[in-house]
Amino acid sequence: MGSGTFFEKLKTIEFEELKTFMERTKRSFEVHQKACKVSPMGVNSSIRFLPPHMLYPLYIDRAKGSRIWDADGNEYIDYQLGFGVLMAGHNHPKLVQALKERLDRGGMTYGADPVDAYEVAEELTKRFRLDMVRMQLTGSEATWIAVKLARAYTNRDKIVKFEGCYHGSNDYLFVSYYPSTAPAMPVREFHSLGVPSHVWRDTLVARYNDLNSVEYLFKKYGDDVACVIVEPVAMNMGVVPPEPGFLEGLRKICDEYGAVLIFDEIKTGAKLAYGGAVEYFGVQPDLVTVAKAVAGGVPFSAVVGKRDIMELIGHGMVAHAGTFNANHLSVTAAKVTLKEILTPDVYGPTRRLSEELAKGYQDILDDKGIDAVVQWIGANGHVYLGVDEPVKDYRGYRKQDSDLWWLIAYAMMNRGVIFEVLTADDQWTVSVAHTKEDVEKTLEAFKEAVSKLT
């Protein structure tokens, strides 16, 4: 139930909010006690439970549209949305109907591609202005095969990633995602036991929004660098957009040294714009990885890329296989989500609601004299508490007051809102199911929660 250290830090208001949360979520507590006996941490993805700030995880019973209900029957306006997966909202009727029809035809998986998998591939190539697609199930798989392709294409081993950026739990990418220190130059720091150091010795770490740090690595290792992999908007340290010229600079450096540029659009691909960050920023990478919102909540990921790179996949070349790749349910979900739900006309309305949230949060915090910066782009945003200047990299992100953020998170849940992903390093997502009324209620709850702090 959290550490003693955390409780010792609580002031009266913190104690009141946590006490209220515990009274509202007794069933989740009971489930957690049982789950801990049979599953490490009581969950099946460690990010779902983050002590000491989380007392215990919420366990969810059902959801629909912009709403979710926990094990105790408490209703929330949901901006976590499955870690940003559900821009289509919960249980979208078009998606539910399409999956039912597919199941009625006996369509789970056959060990063969469904007849319409190529339609999803065509849609993805159109959105990202690239040539070919390979499908998997998870974002980690997509980034893994993308880096493998880059290494095969260049016949080089080293890769460049950025401090504070997350690309899945691949052994050679799970480096400096959340380093414990922030020295002048980025350092390599791994985040899991059980991985031999030689696996990530060729992973180089640069600073996001700092082209000088990238150029330094290329001047030192350029002839050995296979690729640069980057979140075009850094969304694992809140929401950190690229500064003008940053993505263009990466494109130029990769061209100069013959390296592959990979946009990890697991988070931005179906949410930032119709054509993801590629469209939004006008910079063309060689490979794009997509997942999360692309299939409306059903597991699906893909690598989208240039033909000369993608055609390295084949027998005796780059191995790529998977029993559940392009399974019928995933393909159906991606097809309906991309072609019928996340159509070009939905991005304007969701962006405007997200902007209303961002400005509302900032105005409330400013009125109460609380130092904070609210950053947003497209359907996503993040409240950086205790910060008085824009966050542009991991060092800026580390300055936020995570204790205060968690207090606000609990206060918001007690008022029926999950206002961001419950990690303090992620963001909110506005879905097509959210309404202006949802935003107004959210801001009312936020104003009440923040007012208790002053």
Catalytic residues: 166, 264, 292
| Residue in the structure block whose two tokens are 């709850």 | 445
For the purposes of burial, counting CB atoms within 10 Å of the CB of 125, is it exposed (0-12), middle (13-18) or buried (19 or more)? middle
b/e map of 159-169 (b: 16 or more CB within 10 Å)? bbbbbbbbbbb
List % helix, strand, coil for the chain (3-state, nearest 5): 45, 15, 40
> What stretch of H or E contains 136?
strand 132-136
Q: How far is CA 137 from the centre of its chain?
A: 15
CA within 13 Å, CB half, 189: 14
The conformation of residue 313, written as its DSSP 8-state character, comes to B
Q: Do the Cβ atoms of 167 and 250 come closer than 8 Å?
A: no
| Residue in the structure block whose two tokens are 């794009």 | 288
Q: How far is CA 99 from CA 109, 110, 329, 340, in A?
A: 13, 16, 7, 14
